[in-house]
Structure 1
Amino acid sequence: MLVFATDLDRTIIFSQRFLTGCEDVTLVERKQSELIAYMTGAAKELFKKLARSITVVPVTTRNREEYNRISVLQEIDYKYCILNNGGRIYVNGAEDPTWNEIIARKTAALGKTYDQILHEFFKVFGSAGLRRYKLSGDLLWVLSVKDYFPADRLEYFRQYAQGYGWNVAATGKKIYLLPLFINKRKAVVYLQTTYLKDVRLVSAGDSILDRDMVTGADIGFIPRHGDIAGLERSNVYTTVNQGLLAGEEILKNVMAMAGKKEGC
C-alpha cells in the first residue's frame, strides 16, 4: 500500500508571494477577509484524486484551528493527519490518546519548561526583533521575527537548548522552539507501527522541520524553493519547478507512483 505523508505550507499550498507567474490559481484558505493560501487548479484536482486513490496523511506545524481553515482538506476523505509538527496525531478526527500520553510523559521530563526556554531565548536575543510570538497548541513556540537573526547566534542557542531537550528551527522569518521529541518523522513512524504497517511511504516537505520525515521515507520530494532543496540522498528528489508549480509537480509524481504501484 502506498502512503503519502506530506507537509502543507510551501509544499502543497502557498502564500500570495508565490503567485508570480502563475495563471491557474485557486484559493484554498482564507481567514475572514484575509486571503491566505493557494494551489494551482490542477494541483487541487490532483490532490483530491490522490486522496481517493491512496492513503494521504497531511503533516503540518499548524494547530487545529489553523488547519481547519484549509478548504481543500474539507473536500477530501482521509483517516489520519498529524498537526503541531507531530505533537498531535488525529485518527478519524479524534486525537490518538496513546500518542498524547507519550508526549505528556516526555514533556514532564524536559530539562526546561516552555516558559523557561522562552525566557532563555529572550536573554540571548531580546524581544525587540520579534513581531509576535505564540504557544501553538500548547506544544511549540512560534516566533515571527522582523528580520533574519544572525545564524551564528541561532546556532549557539540551538546547541544550548539541545542540552535541555529542545530544538530551535528557523525557517523564513519564523523561529520555532519545540521539544526534540515533537518531530514529524517520529509521529509518522508511530502511525506506521500502529496503524499503517507494511506500507511504501512517500513524503514531501520544504523546511528543516520536514527533513527527517522526507529523508526517512522510501521516496522523498523537496520543492526547489525549499530550505532543504538539493539535499543529496538516493531516495530524495528536488523538483524542477518552484512555488505553486513545484507543489503540482510533486502531486503529479506521486499520482504516477500510485498508478504504477512502484517508486520513481
Structure 2
Amino acid sequence: MTSAPAGTNGRTTMIASDLDRTLIYSPSALQLATTDETSPNLVSVEILEGRPHSFTSLTATRRLAELARIATFVPTTTRTMAQYQRVRFPGVTPKYAITSNGGHILVDGQPDEAWHRSTESAIAACDATLADVKHELRARSQEDWAIKRRVGDDLFCYIVVDLVRLPDGFIESWTQWCGERGWKVSVQGRKIYAIPKPLSKERAVLAVARRVGADHVVAAGDGALDSGFLMAADAGIRPPHGELAALGWEHPTVRIADRIGVLAADDITAWFAEQVQLASSLFPAEVVAAQ
C-alpha cells in the first residue's frame, strides 16, 4: 500500500475534487460580482496555446497547498489525461489523479494500465460501442450548431454546441437513446457528453481510497457526473452553480457552498480544511497511540 499524508494521530483523509467549475475556472466562468477594485487575486493554473486558460483564487491555491501536506489530494476529472496534465496548482504535486471520468488512474503522472484494462472490460458489456455512439451522434447533430466533435481517451465522446441554435428536445432524445444502450449523457456548459455507464468517477475514487488506506473521504464537484462520488464520500460539497445546481440536486451528506463562480473555490477549500480538522479530531492522538 502506498503511504499517504496523515495527521499526527495517523488518520488519513483523502480529498477527491472535480476541477472545472469546482476548483478552477475559465475566464467566462469566473462570475465575479465584485467591482474590479475589490475582486480577489487570481492565479493562472492552466496554459493553453501560450495563454492563461484556467484560474483559481490565490486564497484557494494557498489553502490547497497546505491541505496537500496533511491529506491525500486527488484531482478527479472528466478531462483527458493530456487536458489534466496542463493543470498545475502552485506547491501541489498530486501522487494520484483520476482522469477520463474514472477511465484512468494516474500514479505519479503515469497511467495505471491494470486499472485501464479493468475499465475497458467493464465498458465492453454495454449494448453500444464507442463507434456506435459516435456514428449516431454525428447523424443527429448538424454543422450549424455542433461546433466540435471530440473523443476522450478512446473511452467516451462529446460535442461542443452553440446553445442558441441547439434544437429543442435534442438533449432529451439523445439521453433516451444513450440510456437504452448503457450510456449516460451529461451537459456541462456548451459540452454534451456521452459516457458509458460503467465509466464512473466513484469507482475510481473508491479504488484510490483503498490504495492509500483513507479512513475519511471528502469530495467536491458541480456536475451530474460527480454525483456518484459525492454520495460515496463520507461528506461532500458542491458549488451553487453548475449542472447539479440546475437539476436542483441535493443529498443529506452534501452541502452547498455559499458563493458562485471562482469564489466557490474559496468556500470549497475552506470546507476541506474544516473536514480535515474534523477527521483529525475524531480520535484523540493519545487514544490512537494506545491502540
TM-score by length of 1: 0.91
One-letter code of the match for 2:258? Answer: V
- Structure 2 counterpart of 1:44: 61
One-letter code of the match for 2:170? Answer: R
Matched, 1:247 2:265: yes
Question: Is the 2:14–2:71 contact (alpha carbons within 8 Å) kept by the matching residues of 1?
Answer: yes
The DSSP-based 3-state class of the residue aligned with 1:144 is strand
One-letter code of the match for 1:114? Answer: L
The DSSP-based 3-state class of the residue aligned with 2:53 is strand
One-letter code of the match for 2:261? Answer: G
Q: Which 5+ residue runs of structure 2 have no aligned equivalent?
A: 1-11, 282-291
State the superposition RMSD in angstroms.
2.1
One-letter code of the match for 1:234? Answer: P
- Structure 2 counterpart of 1:258: 276
The 3 A distance-change label for structure 1 pair 96 and 243 is same
Shift of 1:262: 5.9
Shift of 1:110: 3.1
The DSSP-based 3-state class of the residue aligned with 1:109 is coil
Deviations 1:5-62 (A, max 9, x none): 0001100011112153333111111113322111111111111111111011100111
Deviations 1:186-210 (A, max 9, x none): 21122234x1345211000011111
User: What CA distance in whole angstroms lies between the structure 2 residues aligned with 1:197 and 1:45?
Assistant: 26
User: What CA distance in whole angstroms lies between the structure 1 residues aligned with 2:209 and 2:110?
Assistant: 17
- Structure 2 counterpart of 1:235: 253
One-letter code of the match for 1:174? Answer: K
Moved more, 112-121 or 149-158: 149-158
Deviations 1:121-170 (A, max 9, x none): 23333343111111121112121001164564322221221222211211
One-letter code of the match for 2:278? Answer: K
Q: Which 5+ residue runs of structure 1 have no aligned equivalent?
A: none
User: What CA distance in whole angstroms lies between the structure 2 residues aligned with 1:223 and 1:110?
Assistant: 32
**Aligned 1:47-62 pairs, distance under 5 A:** 47-62=64-79
* Equivalences, count: 262
**Aligned 1:27-176 pairs, distance under 5 A:** 27-72=44-89, 75-147=91-163, 149=166, 152-176=169-193
- Structure 1 counterpart of 2:3: none
The DSSP-based 3-state class of the residue aligned with 1:182 is coil
User: What CA distance in whole angstroms lies between the structure 1 residues aligned with 2:270 and 2:144?
Assistant: 44
User: What CA distance in whole angstroms lies between the structure 2 residues aligned with 1:225 and 1:151?
Assistant: 23
Deviations 1:233-254 (A, max 9, x none): 2211001111111111110111
**Larger RCO (CA within 8 A; separation ≥ 6):** 2
- Structure 1 counterpart of 2:13: 2
Question: Is the 2:222–2:239 contact (alpha carbons within 8 Å) kept by the matching residues of 1?
Answer: yes
